[in-house]
Structure formats: C-alpha cells, structure tokens
C-alpha cells in the first residue's frame, strides 16, 4: 500500500486555493437602494461637501459672540431660518431663530440652544427679542461645511462589500446608482442516496437508512448571504456517470460548483474521480478537524469545491475555505489570506486532548466574556452549530486549560 501523503495544513491550502482564483471583472449598474451586499466596482468620489454648508446642529438662535458680552443680553430676532431654507447675512446686533440642519446665516459665529434663551413677549407686530442666558463660545453647535466629507474625497473604495452604512454614505454624496461586480454564479449539488428532502417524506415514513438533506439548506443560506446567485441543483445519485454528467453541465454556466458529500475514499464516493475525468483536482484533504475531506479543482473555467458530507464538517469548511475563495472571486478587497486567526478570548473550559490536526471547536460566549464549549464535538452534530456562536481555532497539538486565552472566530463575522 502507498504511504498516505501528509494532509495539507490549512494556511497552505488557503494560499494555494486563492492563488488559483482570479476575481470576476464583469460589472453592472444597480440602484443604490438595491445594492445591499454587492461588491463595489468603482471608487465613489464625492462631488460636493457634506454637509454642503455651515449649519446648525441645534434648535436655537444663531448670533455673533461679540454681540453677547454678558449673560442676559437681549437681542432682537431679525430672521427665522428652518431646514431647507436659504439664509440672509445676519444683521449686526441681532440674532436669527434657527432649527437643526438649517444653514447658518453669514456673519453668525455661534448657535445658542433654545433651552438657554428666553423669548421676551413682544407687542403685536413688534420684532420679538430674545434674552441669551449663557455666554456663547465661538463655533458652538455649528456643523461646518465639509466636516464629514470634502469635495473630491474617496468616500467608498472599490472592492468593499456594501452594507447599510456604505449605502447611506453613497446616497449622502448623491449616488442614485452604483457600479458593482456581477454576482458569482454558484451551482450546488448534494450527493448521497440516503438523502431525502424534508417535505417529500414525513418523519414517520422515512425508509430505513434515509436521512434528511440538511446540508443543502445551510449551504444555500450561506451562499446567498455572501451575495451569490445560487442554482440549487438537488441531489446527485451515488453513481459515477450521473456525477460526471451533472458536473459537466453545471460547469458551462457557473463560476463555482459546490458539492457536499461523496468526497471521501469509499467506493460510493464518486466526486473525486468525476472531477479528475472532467478537469483537474488540485487540492484534496486538509489537516483540519472537522473537515478533512475537502477538495478543490477546476472544470473548464469553473472552480470546483467538494465539501464533506458530515454537516458540521461541511459548514466549517465552507466558512474556512469557500468563503475566502468566494470573496476573492467576487472582487472583495482581501484582508488576511492565510490562517483565519481569531480574537483572543478566555476559555472557560478545559480541552485536554490535543489533535494532530488544526481543530475548530464549537463554543459560545458566556455572560462573563469567556467561552463555553459544546459537549459533543462530533462532525455530524448540527446542534453544536445552533447552540454555538463561533469556533475556537486550535493549532495542531494545542491543549487548553481553563482560563487560558484562545483564538475565537465568531460566526457573525464569517457570514459577511
């Protein structure tokens, strides 16, 4: 028997995987309102100052500090400026009623909030006067033109993924539509003759040996959350010819093919030979737990990724390997192409049995800011992912004693 080749360490596998990925370059114009989650294909440069002019950040009175030499000075009101109106220059020795967001009248150098003023009752038709009960400070309650964004600033850089804050920023500088990269087209297959779709068969009627197809559901969700256009191509039977046929067809019209299951070394695992028959398999088996049976290859232009069948392995390898691949394909400017690392966090558990492989342990943060561990770390136990909110990234051979700091990867961050 041939000696088994050593499993590839995760950081090496990631480097190799990403070196093989060229970002898509096709772009499309989408309405800013519909651009959530898309990847920006242009720098957004502001054509104006934000705010466009000096304006008030309070409801109150705009004045010149020099006109208020002492607390209690009484000044006549010479104009009233609401948001959306223009302002005339401020007459000397007067103040202007002003509201939040209204432009500052030229000549004014401070705003006093209305809580610090008393309006004097004026006779009918007379100009109201206002007593200023504080000594105003130069510049107070004024938002300066361009203090947020100056004309010519790059407010959003090409390659970022657009989220709520970015969409607001784009709108704030007048962008009604944005140039974004086209969505990555992903074909998804599940393999396994034991798989039954929920809804097709009631639990009480499940044939012997059958299980529900759970991977399909979280993989569709993960792919969609990462902004992919998913063709969910159902279940491929555990047969060589059917597997080859399904992969061949999908490769013509997709950027990425993702399969789950069938990528181990059993006689019922047809993925590996099928990919080798159609293209090339460049990466197979990674030194991680869970998730050893991971494969990457090419079929024509399409990338191929084979995920393990065990649900937790499938989920974890998606987060650790498919997500970085997708982000690069999508043109997301990369940060950290190697080991995913993690945020140093206190382990409130012992982990006495080290593994030879790099291990990703399902944990969740507790109210004390530490991490609790799920008792059953078996790679089939989806309950561990529902209970947990992240993974601890343990180096090969690493044990943990309660109280030590470990590298924590939150699921929330891995889902963007």
The C-alpha atoms of residue 197 and residue 201 are separated, in whole angstroms, by: 7
| Residues 307 to 326 in contact with Mg ion, rule: CB under 5 A | 309
Judged by CB under 6 A, how many residues of this single chain contact ligand AMP?
A: 18
Subset of 300-319 contacting ligand AMP (CB under 6 A)? 308-311
Residues 261-290 that bind ligand AMP (CB under 6 A): 261-264
Choose the contact partner of 348 out of Mg ion, ligand AMP, none; CB within 5 to 8 A by kind. none
The interface partner of residue 310, options being ligand AMP, Mg ion, none and the CB cut-off 5 to 8 Å by kind, is: ligand AMP
Closest residue to ligand AMP using C-beta atoms? 309
SS3 label, residue 412? helix
What Rg value do the Cα atoms of the chain yield, rounded? Answer: 31
DSSP class of residue 57? S
Residues 240, 274 contacting (CB under 8 angstroms): yes
The CB-of-320 to ligand AMP minimum distance in angstroms stands at 17
Nearest-angstrom CA–CA distance, 227 and 326: 9
Q: By the 8 A CB rule, do 19 and 324 touch?
A: no
- Tell me the closest approach of the beta carbon of residue 211 to ligand AMP, in angstroms: 6
From residue 274 to residue 313, what is the string marking binding to Mg ion with x (rule CB under 5 A)? -----------------------------------x----
Cβ neighbours of residue 217 closer than 8 Å, sequence gap 6 or more = none
Q: Which of residues 203-222 bind ligand AMP (CB under 6 A)?
A: 211, 213-216
Q: Of residues 51, 159, 192, 388, which one binds Mg ion by CB under 5 A?
A: 192
Burial of 336 by CB count in 10 Å (0-12 exposed, 13-18 middle, 19+ buried)?
exposed
Is the CA virtual torsion 284, 190, 210, 378 positive or negative? positive
d(CA 278, CA 411): 35
CA-nearest of 305, 238, 293 to 265 is 293
Residue span binding ligand AMP (CB under 6 A) among the ranges 33-41, 65-73, 87-95, 186-194: 186-194
- Give whichever of 235 and 363 is closer to Mg ion, judged by the CB atom: 235
- Give the number of C-alpha atoms closer than 13 A to the C-alpha of residue 397, restricted to the C-beta side: 0
Nearer to Mg ion among residue 14 and residue 236 (C-beta): 236
Asked if 370 is part of the footprint of Mg ion (rule: CB under 5 A), the reply reads no
Binding residues for ligand AMP (CB under 6 A): 190, 192, 194-195, 211, 213-216, 260-264, 308-311
Binding residues for Mg ion (CB under 5 A): 192, 261-262, 309
């Amino acid at each position: 028997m041939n000696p088994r080749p050593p499993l590839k360490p995760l950081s090496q596998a990631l480097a190799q995987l990403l070196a093989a990925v060229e970002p898509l370059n096709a772009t499309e114009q989408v309405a800013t309102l519909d651009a959530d989650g898309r990847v920006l294909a242009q720098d957004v440069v502001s054509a104006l100052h934000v705010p466009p002019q000096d304006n008030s950040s309070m409801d109150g009175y705009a004045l010149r500090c020099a006109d208020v030499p002492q607390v209690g000075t009484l000044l006549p009101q010479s104009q009233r400026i609401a948001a959306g109106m223009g302002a005339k220059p401020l007459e000397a020795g007067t103040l202007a009623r002003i509201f939040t967001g209204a432009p500052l009248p030229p000549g004014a150098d401070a705003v006093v909030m209305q809580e610090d003023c008393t309006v004097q009752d004026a006779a009918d038709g007379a100009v109201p006067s206002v007593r200023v009960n504080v000594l105003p400070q130069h510049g107070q309650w004024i938002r300066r033109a361009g203090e947020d964004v100056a004309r010519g600033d790059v407010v959003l850089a090409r390659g970022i993924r657009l989220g709520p804050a970015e969409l607001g920023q784009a709108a704030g500088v007048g962008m009604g539509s944005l140039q974004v990269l086209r969505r990555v087209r992903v074909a998804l297959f599940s393999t396994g003759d034991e798989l039954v779709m929920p809804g097709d068969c009631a639990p009480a009627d499940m044939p012997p040996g059958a299980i529900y197809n759970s991977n399909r559901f979280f993989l569709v969700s993960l792919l969609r959350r990462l902004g992919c256009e998913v063709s969910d191509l159902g279940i491929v039977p555990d047969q060589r010819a059917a597997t080859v046929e399904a992969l061949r067809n999908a490769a013509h019209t997709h950027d990425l093919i993702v399969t789950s299951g069938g990528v181990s070394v059993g006689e019922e695992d047809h993925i590996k030979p099928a990919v080798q028959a159609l293209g090339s398999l460049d990466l197979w088996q990674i030194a991680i737990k869970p998730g050893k049976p991971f494969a990457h290859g090419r079929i024509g232009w399409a990338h191929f990724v084979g995920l393990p069948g065990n649900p937790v392995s499938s989920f974890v390898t998606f987060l650790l390997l498919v997500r970085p691949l997708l982000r690069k394909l999508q043109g997301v400017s990369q940060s950290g192409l190697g080991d995913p690392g993690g945020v140093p966090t206190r382990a409130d558990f012992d982990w006495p049995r080290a593994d030879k492989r790099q291990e990703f342990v399902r944990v969740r943060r507790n109210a004390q800011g530490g991490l609790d561990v799920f008792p059953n770390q078996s790679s089939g136990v989806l309950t561990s992912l529902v209970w947990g909110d992240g993974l601890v990234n343990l180096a090969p051979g690493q044990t943990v004693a309660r109280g030590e700091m470990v590298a924590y990867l939150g699921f929330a961050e891995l889902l963007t």
